[in-house]
Every structure is written in C-alpha cells, then in structure tokens.
Amino acid sequence: MPTEPERVRWGVLSTANIGRKVVVPSIVASSNGVLTAVASREAARAEAYAAEFGGVRAHASYEALLADPEVDALYVPLPNALHEAWTVRALEAGKHVLCEKPLAPTAAACRRMGDAAAAHGRLLMEAFMYRFHPRTRAVARLVAEGAIGRARRLEAAFTFAVRRDDDVRLSAELAGGALLDVGCYTVDAARRTLGEEPVEAVAFATYGDSGVDVETVGLLRFPSGAVASVACALTLPRCEHLAVHGDAGRVEVDRAFVASHEALGYDVVDAAGAATRQPVDGVDQYRLMVEAFADRVLGRAVDAPASDAAEAARTVAAVEALAASARRGGAPVAVGR
Ligand SMILES: NC(=O)c1ccc[n+]([C@@H]2O[C@H](COP(=O)([O-])OP(=O)(O)OC[C@H]3O[C@@H](n4cnc5c(N)ncnc54)[C@H](OP(=O)(O)O)[C@@H]3O)[C@@H](O)[C@H]2O)c1
C-alpha cells in the first residue's frame, strides 16, 4: 500500500503573470506542497520559468503536463475563457485543480466544472484568495453577529488601470472585462458579507473598443431588502474598498482584496460616529489558499472558507445579471439560480 504523500505535487498550467509573481512563490513557500512542473504553449517560456524556480520540469504543451504522472494537482491561471476546457481536461486526467477566479464566465460553466470534479472524484477549488484572509472572515463574522445591527447597505469597489493594450482583460474572446476581472470580487464580497443571495440587479457600463465593459457600476438587491452597490473599472486609479452600513453602525475596509503581507485592519464605527480600529496580523493570503487546497487534497481537516464551484456559480450568476442589465441600459434583471 502506498503511504499518503505528505506534500501535494503541483503543476502550473501556463506562465501567467499572477502565477509567476504571486501564487507560485506561495506554493513554493507552502508547508504541504511542492512545485514539480510547469507547462507553456512555448517550450522556451516553460524552460525559462522552470529555471527561475529551480528543480522544476518544463513541459512544452499543456497536454504533456496533464499526462505527467508525478503531478497531483494543477494550478490553472489561464485567461477566463479557457478555464472550463482545461480544468475539465485536467480533472479527466485525474488531477485536482485550483483554478483562477472567476472560475468561468457563466454560472452554467461553473456548475459543469463542479459536475466534472464530482464525476472524477477530484477536488476543484476557485483561487479567490481574498476569501482566505483572516480580515475578510472577521468582517463577515462581525456583520453576521450583528455588531453593526441589521446590515442594510453595502458598498464594494475594485478599480485599477490596465496598462497594456494586449492585456487579456481587454479581450472579448478571452472573456475579459471589468465585471469578470474585478467586479467578481465586489459581488462575491457583497453576497458573502451580507450572508444572503441577491435576487435582482441593475447596472450601467462603459465599453471599450473590443466590446468588453471597462467601467461598470451596479446595484444588487437582496431578499432582506439590503442593497449593495458594486463598482469596477479597468480605467481608473486603484481603489479597493468595502463598507457595510447597518442600523447600529458601519464597518469600513480599505485595500479590501489584494492584501499585501503587512498588518492590516478595518474600522468599526458606532451609531454615534465613534470609530474603533481593529488590527489584523499580516499574512500571505495566497499561501493560506494553496495550503487549504493541499490540505483538502491530502484529506486533512481544514478551517477555511468554501471556494468551490457552487460558490463560484452563485457569484457569477449575479455578475451575469449585472452584465445583462448594463447591456439593456440599466433595466432590472433577475439573478439566475
Ligand atoms: N487572484 C488574483 O490575485 C489574480 C490576479 C491577476 C489575475 N488573476 C486571474 O488569473 C488569470 C490569468 O491572469 P493573468 O493576468 O496572470 O494573465 P496573463 O499574464 O496574460 O497569463 C495568461 C497565460 O495564459 C496562457 N494562454 C493560453 N492561451 C492564451 C491566449 N489565447 N492568450 C493569452 N494567454 C494565453 C499564456 O501562457 P503560456 O503562453 O505560457 O501558455 C499566458 O501567459 C485570469 O483568470 C485572472 O482573472 C487572478
């Protein structure tokens, strides 16, 4: 009988920026994973990447990585439109998959990916790292416990300026656009922080030359009557903000999503306007995410949030409703289930 491996052997499917700069260094630093292989459409890119990390096998095609018997799990940071096809192929090849956010451009695709994971008995997780930050979890807990009374209004914004014309975010074919790239954070934060699912969306958007939305502002209505305003852009200076307003106070979170490793905090403001700063220790939220994934692969108990295909589908369904409303000039659209 083979003994259970102590460490998950990771392969990386593509030489994407987010992998090379952020997620793969966190895999290398993780306590329960080891970086084993990388694949690129171009052999030279895979080799340069493998050399950068050292002791890593380079594959000149994604198919070769899928066939590598010494890889247990794949990290998939492809452009959004390619997530489903390659994740399903990886699951069929017997690999566990950590796929970048948004898991897919449609809720239906997210569900198909979840079905494939179930059919092949493999783990599929969405790489939504901000969910794993202790501050994200603390703020959701505080709202759920009623520290600001009944939550009635939430504001979430994630904007930044794309610098290159050939950025995958500006490609309609690759499922770019502000809503799918960063709007998904604001929607995800709204539904997870309020602890309920939106039922209706309205939105207004500005579109770029390729047809993708480059700026979108929308509203999500929740069954309790709470309303979230969500804003995202690929054209504006960086802003990552979350605020939840209740009938007994509010909570404000700055730099809410791409947290660096330094200590952070959030502000709780009571009904009289008195603010208390709540400090949160610095962590590598990407490392917490990859360690939670690997622990789940290894069958260990994990105290970490759900980040599965069903969760992804719920967020993407609301993103789709916002996108549909914006295409119709702001007409209300029911959020699909
Ligand atoms: N969680 C986060 O903090 C975070 C941050 C940024 C991005 N992301 C997500 O990560 C994913 C990748 O984003 P990124 O900015 O890292 O992308 P990127 O640097 O443009 O990398 C995408 C990679 O996909 C491969 N690829 C395969 N077919 C392609 C095609 N037709 N066009 C372009 N590239 C193709 C390329 O690798 P090879 O040529 O080597 O095969 C390329 O390096 C997206 O889903 C994005 O939403 C997450």
What's the burial of 15, exposed, middle or buried (CB within 10 Å: 0-12/13-18/19+)?
Answer: buried
- Which atom of ligand 1 lies at the shortest distance from residue 15's CA? 40
**Ligand 1 geometric centre to CA of 252 (Å):** 31
Residue 94 CA, ligand 1 centroid: distance in Å = 23
What SS3 state is found at 272? coil
Using a 6 Å cutoff on CB, does residue 285 contact ligand 1?
no
- Catalytic residues, by residue number, are 101
Q: Over the stretch 51-94, which tens digit does the pLDDT of each residue have?
A: 999 999 999 999 999 999 999 999 999 999 999 999 999 999 99
79 lines ligand 1 (CB under 6 A): yes
For 221, the 3-state DSSP assignment is strand
260 lines ligand 1 (CB under 6 A): no
Question: How far, in Å, CA of 118 to CA of 123, rounded?
Answer: 8
> What's the confidence (pLDDT) of residue 138?
97
Residues in the chain with pLDDT values less than 70: 1-5
At residue 172, the pLDDT reads 98
**Ligand 1: distance of its center to the CA of 261 in Å?**
23
> Nearest residue CA, atom 6 of ligand 1?
18
Angle, helix 134-144 to helix 184-194, in steps of 10 degrees: 40
129 by Cβ neighbours in 10 Å (0-12 / 13-18 / 19+) ranks as: buried
pLDDT value at residue 260: 84
221, with CB counted inside 10 A (0-12, 13-18, 19+), is middle
| Domains of the chain, start order | 8-128 (3.40.50.720), 130-283+307-334 (3.30.360.10)
Cα→Cα distances 35→197, 213, 332, Å: 37, 36, 46
Q: Is the CB of 173 under 6 A from ligand 1?
A: no
pLDDT of residue 1: 44
Mutate to test the pocket of ligand 1, among 20, 38, 41, 42 (most ligand atoms within 8 A of CB): 41
**Alpha carbons 145 and 172: distance in angstroms, whole number:** 41
As given in the structure block, the two tokens for residue 161 are 């300026």
pTM of full prediction above 0.95: yes
Residue 29 CB partners (closer than 8 Å, separation 6+)? 284, 287
- For the beta carbon of residue 166, count every other beta carbon within 10 angstroms: 7
